[in-house]
Amino acid sequence: MGFPKDFLWGGATAANQCEGAYLKAGKGLSTADVMAVGEHGVPREITDGIVEGKYYPSHNAIDHYHHFKEDIALFSEMGFKCYRMSIAWSRIFPNGDEEVPNEEGLKHYEEVFDTCLQFGIEPVVTLSHFETPLGLLKYGSWENRKVMDFYLRYCKTLFTRYKGKVKYWISFNEINVMSTKPWMAGGINTNNEQTRMTAAYHQFLASAKAVQMAHEIDSNNKVGMMYNGHVAYPNSPDPEDVQTTVDFMHKMLFYADVQCRGYYPAYKLKEFERKGIVLPIQDGDLDELIGGKVDFLSFSYYATHVIGKKTDLNFEGLNGVKTGYKNPYLSTSDWGWTIDPMGLRYLLNLLYDRYQIPLMIVENGLGAVDKVEDDGSIHDLYRINYLKEHIKEMEKAIEIDGIPVMGYTMWGPIDIIAASTGEMKKRYGFIYVDVDDNGKGTFRRIKKDSFYWYKKVIESNGENLDLLEAKEIY
C-alpha cells in the first residue's frame, strides 16, 4: 500500500527564480525582470524598466540557464521521477506579440527536456510562472483580450515543438494570486477589482482554449491548473468567524471552481452583481470554459491561515493576506509562515471532495537560513523534519482517505531566489548554491544532508522517512 508505484517524486523551480541569463540568446524583458530586490520581510520594488543602481535578482539568479545539465544530473542522483519547471515566455517571444518565435529560446528548452528524458525524468512544465513579457504591458497586459491570442500562439508553439517530450503542462502558476499579487500573476499593477477580475477572466478563457489545443495536438497531453494553496480555519465557533472563513475560501477557491468545473460559481456572480463588476463575455466564451476544464489540479502548500470577523478580505502586501490572527497551536518558520503538516491532508481532502479530479502537490518546502560548516557540510535537520511530517500526511490522504495524488515536487530542490523578496538567504533546497543576496559568489553547488535523505525517500517510494545517520551522508 502507500504511494502508487508510478508516483511522481521530484522538485519544482521557476525560470525567473533560477535561470538568470535574463537577456541571453534573444530573451526579452519580463515583469519579473523589473522587480528589484527587497529585504527580509520587505516586498520587491516594481520599477519602470531597468533602473541603474538597482539590483534585480532574476537577472543572474543561480544561473541555472548555464548549469542546467549539472543541476538535472544532481536531481537524477536523488532519483527524481519528474522535474516541475517553467518556460520563460519572453525567451520564446521576446516582446510577447511577435509572429515568429525565437529559435534560440526554443532550442534551449529542447536541450533541457532532452537532458531530463536522458535521466528518466518527466518534465512538468508551467507555461506562465509569474513572468509576463514586459512588451505586453502596452496592451494593458491581461486586462486586454488580445493578450489571450498572444498566449495561445505561445502555447501552440510549445505544444507543437515539444510533442512527445512533454506531456504534463500547467497553464498558469498559482492563478489565484491575481487576487493577492496581481503584478506577479499577470502584469497588473492595481488593486482595482474590476481590472483584476477582467484579467482573471481572460486567463481562465486562455487556459480553457489551451487545454483543448493541447489535447488536439497530442492526445497524451494532460493540462492542469495551479492553485496557490490558501486554506483557513475559523478563529472560533462564533458564526461570524465561520462565515468570514467561508468568504475567504470563496475568494481563493473560485479560481479552481472555474477551471475545474468550467463555469463561474453562483456565489461569485452574486458578488460581482453587488460590486458592479462586469465580465467581458463574448459569444461562445462560456462554451469554451466548459470545454476546457483541466485534467488535474496542482497546488502549492506552505501554511494555513486563521480567519475571523476582523479579517480584511481586501488582499495586498508581501504575501497578499493579512488575517489579523495567529494560530496558537502551530510554530512558524524563520519568515513567519505557519508550519502545519496536518493542514496538507486537510487541503487534499477539501480539494478532492470539491472537484473529484487527480491532484498534484507541486510546491511544498521550508525557507530557512542554512549554515555551511567549516568542512563544507550543511546539516539541515529542520528541513528534513518539515518535509518528513508533510509527506506522512500526504500518505495518509492517499492510504486512508483514498485521494488520487499524482505526485509531489517539493519547492525548490536547489536554492533559488525568493519570489516575494528576491533574497537568496531564504533557502529551500536540497542543494546549496554559493550565491548571496547581492548575487555574489562562486555559484558552486553543495549537497545538504537533506539531499541524501530525499534520495532514500524516493528509493523507497516514500516508505523510508527515517532520519539519516552520519555514515549515510558521507
DSSP string for 46-60:
E-SSPPTT---GGGT
Pairing verdict, β 35-36 and 45-46: antiparallel
In the chain, the amino acid numbered 288 is E
- Alpha-carbon distance of 338 to 303, in angstroms, equals 5
Contact 294, 275 (CB under 8 A): no
Angle at 411 between CA 408 and CA 416, to 5 degrees: 155
- Alpha-carbon distance of 197 to 179, in angstroms, equals 8
Contact 251, 323 (CB under 8 A): no
* Catalytic residue list contains 216: no
- Alpha-carbon distance of 474 to 471, in angstroms, equals 6
Q: How far is CA 350 from CA 101, 230, 268, 341, 346, in A?
A: 41, 12, 19, 15, 6
Contact 254, 264 (CB under 8 A): yes
From the list 122, 131, 143, 174, the catalytic residue is: 174
Closest residue by Cα to residue 80 from 464, 430, 470: 430
From the list 19, 122, 131, 363, the catalytic residue is: 363
Measured distance between the N- and C-terminal CA atoms of the chain, rounded to whole angstroms: 31
Strand partners, 297: 225, 359
436 exposure class (CB count in 10 Å sphere: 0-12, 13-18, 19+): exposed
20's torsion region: left (phi>0), alpha (psi -120 to 50) or beta? left
* Catalytic residue list contains 52: no
The catalytic site residues sit at 174, 363
